[in-house]
Amino acid sequence: MRLEGEVALVTGGGAGLGRAIVDRYVMEGARVAILDKSAAGLEALRERHGDAVVGIEGDVRLLNSHREAVARCIEAFGKLDCLVSNAGVWDYLTQLVDIPEDQLSDAFEEMFAVNVKGYILAAKAALPALYRSKGGAIFTVSNAGFYPGGGGVLYTAGKHAVIGLIKQLAHEWGPHIRVNGIAPGGILNCDLRGLKTLGLQDKTIASIPLSEMLDPVLPTGRCATADEYAGAYVFFATRAENVPLTGSVLNIDGGMGVRGLFETSLGAQLGKHFD
């Protein structure tokens, strides 16, 4: 098992991709702390993995939640080797023209508070422990960190910001701590929720026919599941494999950059608003 004896902290680990990462890490021999807002999701993981995991209910927008998660992790397992910042929200491809003016600022604040500030707060809280263990940090990006069309303007801007965060932290923390990112494409069986500000908090990405949308255009031929993405997180966390690896982002999106997502410009739709 490649992560035998290692200890990880995963944010947003209660469902979807985060849960798949937790499951795979435990299978590979790691012990895992999970910070998530869902008490039910955390309890399900405890029942599944027993003493190999510890759950912390909290809000990734708050530094104190991250501090508690790191403290509980160290209390339970004695150290922290790998931070996986993964919690996020989506905007369901909402274009700027469709965001009401009176909701735009609040929607921006919500998106960046979870998807960008939440990562920075996790890094701040975990830094002392990662320094002591000479560990690493992994941040979940998205194909939207590289290309348009994987989200709306808020999500895409936020994921581009995360790539900048990864590069800057790798610059600041080397040679003591390695910092990298993983950018998945569409994920089947995922529970990614939308912005509360835009009334999307109860909508999950599982409600979108991703296979129907992506299978015909992906060079790999099909959309991957959360479990199938989890192996990349194992590789990036494995000390023997990541010696030369920092400041990197693995674009693991099914080949979107080779094929492209759309054949026509979305700008053609503006006429319905202004013509």
Calpha distance 116→19 (Å, rounded): 20
Instruction: For residue 191, report the phi and psi dihedrals to the nearest 5 degrees.
Output: -115, 25
In a domain, 1, yes or no: no
Q: Kindly state the tokens that stand for 235.
A: 């590789």
Query: Can you give the pLDDT at residue 171?
Result: 98
Split at pLDDT 50, 70, 90, the class of 128 is very high
Q: Kindly state the tokens that stand for 76.
A: 């339970």
In a domain, 2, yes or no: no
Q: Are 5 and 32 in contact (CB under 8 A)?
A: no
Query: Can you give the pLDDT at residue 202?
Result: 76
Q: Are 57 and 14 in contact (CB under 8 A)?
A: no
In a domain, 260, yes or no: yes
The pLDDT tens digits for 186-240 are 887 777 888 888 888 877 777 777 766 676 777 887 888 899 999 999 999 999 9
By residue range, what is the domain housing residue 223?
A: 7-274
Query: Can you give the pLDDT at residue 268?
Result: 59
For residue 275, is pLDDT > 80? no
In a domain, 52, yes or no: yes
Share of the chain above pLDDT 70, in %: 92
Calpha distance 95→15 (Å, rounded): 27
Three state DSSP letters for the chain: CCCCCCEEEEECCCCHHHHHHHHHHHHCCCEEEEEECCHHHHHHHHHHHHHHEEEEECCCCCHHHHHHHHHHHHHHHCCCCEEEECCCCECCCCCHHHCCHHHHHHHHHHHHHHHHHHHHHHHHHHHHHHHHHCCEEEEECCHHHCCCCCCCHHHHHHHHHHHHHHHHHHHHHCCCCEEEEEEECCEECCCCEECCCCCCCCCEHHHCCHHHHHCCCCCCCCCEEHHHHHHHHHHHHCCCCCCCCCCCEEEECCCHHHHCCCCCCHHHHHHHHHC
In a domain, 156, yes or no: yes
The pLDDT tens digits for 66-76 are 999 999 999 99
Q: Are 94 and 103 in contact (CB under 8 A)?
A: no
Split at pLDDT 50, 70, 90, the class of 262 is low
Q: Rounded to the nearest 10 degrees, how much is the dihedral formed by the CA atoms of 116, 142, 169, 228?
A: 120
Lowest mean pLDDT of 25-34, 214-223, 253-262, name the range: 253-262
254 vs 237: which has the higher pLDDT: 237
The DSSP bridge partners found for residue 36 are 57
Segment 105-122 mean pLDDT: 97
Q: Tell me the catalytic residues.
A: 155
CATH of the domain at 53: 3.40.50.720
Calpha distance 27→8 (Å, rounded): 13
In a domain, 197, yes or no: yes
The structural domain count of the chain equals 1
Split at pLDDT 50, 70, 90, the class of 265 is low
**Paired sense of beta strands 31-36 and 7-11, if any:** parallel
Query: Can you give the pLDDT at residue 186?
Result: 82
For residue 260, is pLDDT > 60? no
In a domain, 221, yes or no: yes
Distances from the Cα of 149 to the Cαs of 180, 220, 247, 256, in angstroms? 23, 18, 24, 10
Q: Kindly state the tokens that stand for 115.
A: 């998807």
Split at pLDDT 50, 70, 90, the class of 266 is low
In a domain, 55, yes or no: yes
Calpha distance 39→158 (Å, rounded): 27
79 vs 224: which has the higher pLDDT: 79
